Chains A and B, each alone.
Chain A
């Protein structure tokens, strides 16, 4: 079977010598250049506009101070945790309800017939439209914030689980039946694994929506969280505090999305090589 060796596409990665041309093509080098450029532009514009925009090192200093001096009784990490906790609770509840519901809608037309009209009605409503009514119902405490997150993340979780199953190649079910499987085997062996990537795509979208939701809710009313820091910065006219809050949100949100990616690679090992560049 000599021919088989020719059939596999081999991916050999060679170490190339470090010439200027090779450096220009290096991913990490370009990342560095891009970031450096960003900070230089930021810093020079900050110097020109004096007060409106804080300089990068001022933001870092401000964050450093907030790590140790509590604001409204909480250090920076306390505020990070306040926002993160709201997201974790809301996101988890939404996922645990929406993903199974989406799967069931795709698998059972009666469930679909009952849920779909309601869902289609609520789907186009922006989650932030719920903020006022949520505060009326649940007050300004944690419940209203978690509620907004659930509303916001429910839609992408459900839709992607639903579409993930809907888009499965129907002949794959034929394969299972030809091999002697029943309906349950079709669902376990084909439906779920085929839908996993779509479900994870939905989780990623839901996560970024969750951050918008928690922020909006905290801007409206809160005594803790990153949204609270931003509002406080505005009220105290301290741009470094506002930008610091924005930077931390970006970092934490990025970190959480990385965690979801890690989980995806663990659950869907067959995708590992497809995704990596």
Chain B
């Protein structure tokens, strides 16, 4: 990892996080087991794990939507106590407001924070352009394809100018081609607007293509952290690069993920 890109400033610290859900009927579901993770400023970290390994739960804890049973999350050294606009979350299932247009969805963050109309329209237009949706400002979500919906989700999160972006399998429901295209777009957007990114996926290729650092998780509850890989490949990356394939082979061998 070249250190100029990340001058070492630590952005997020997960300190020994354990999560146990108590369901109705007193059933305990142990979902996360002693997760510790540091993310540096402007670093692109991918959490790679199979289904049901607690990836979404970890992201929701960092987002402040769930509280950890043990441990804590620090953002810029301060403990996270609830959700807030300093973190942007992109949901696994899009979660757009069906009753708002693309513009209405993207400007929601600034609107909720009381930014005046003209100003927030400008901000929203900027991010709609960034995700390549010019001309679709007045479309409703049901008029968009899956890939476009997730672009709106990404633009909506960015429009609040969060310091940290949390993406939960954002392209999990897309076909392979659109997915590949969206990965390129994600890399492009990250180059244009540097942010600290935590990106969850179950796809090895997606992880290697995007990440500075890959944190793998072991499946079967409770989810635990496994090997961490530094990805030193130059960008933009090629899926067919020898180094790419070598890393892919290495991760596949070491983890239960095969694809």
Contact = CB atoms under 8 A, between A and B. Distances in A.
Contacts of B88: 178
Interface stretch (B39-47, B144-152, B196-204, B215-223): B144-152
B108 A7 contact: no
Given A171-B91, A179-B160, A180-B160, A270 B133 contact: no
B108 A179 contact: yes
Interface stretch (B20-28, B92-100, B242-250): B92-100
| Best-buried of A171, A175, A176 by chain B (most CB within 10 Å) | A175
Given A178-B83, A180-B85, A185-B112, A8 B63 contact: no
Interface in B122-147: 132-133, 136, 140, 142-145, 147
Contact of B108 (A4, A189, A274): A189
B87 interface: yes
A174 B145 contact: no
A56 interface: no
A233 interface: no
Contacts of A190: 97
A174 B181 CA distance: 28
Given A4-B132, A176-B112, A273-B143, A193 B99 contact: yes
Interface in B95-119: 95, 97-101, 108-109, 112-113
A194 B99 contact: yes
B84 interface: yes
Interface residues of B, number: 37
Contact of A180 (B84, B97, B132): B84
Nearest to A169: B95
Contacts of B181: 3
A180 to B, nearest CB: 4
Contacts of A176: 108, 112
Contacts of B85: 178-180
A159 B157 CA distance: 35
B89 interface: yes
B65 interface: yes
Interface in B177-224: 178, 181
Contacts of B140: 270, 273
B65 A4 contact: no
Contacts of B82: 177
A178 B160 CA distance: 10
A255 interface: no
Contact of B97 (A9, A193, A196, A274): A193
Interface in A192-234: 193-194, 196
A53 B145 CA distance: 55
Interface in A135-178: 169, 171-172, 174-178
Contact of A8 (B95, B101, B144): B144
Nearest to A192: B99
Contacts of A70: none
Nearest to B63: A178
B87 A178 contact: yes
Given A4-B148, A8-B148, A180-B160, A189 B65 contact: no
A52 interface: no
Contacts of A3: 178, 181
18 contacts: A3-B178, A8-B144, A8-B145, A8-B148, A171-B91, A172-B95, A175-B91, A176-B108, A177-B82, A177-B83, A178-B85, A178-B88, A178-B157, A179-B109, A180-B113, A185-B112, A194-B99, A270-B140
Interface of A: 1, 3-4, 7-9, 169, 171-172, 174-181, 185, 189-190, 193-194, 196, 268, 270, 273-274
Q: Which 3 pairs across A and B sit closest by C-beta, in order of nearness?
A: A180-B85, A179-B109, A1-B132
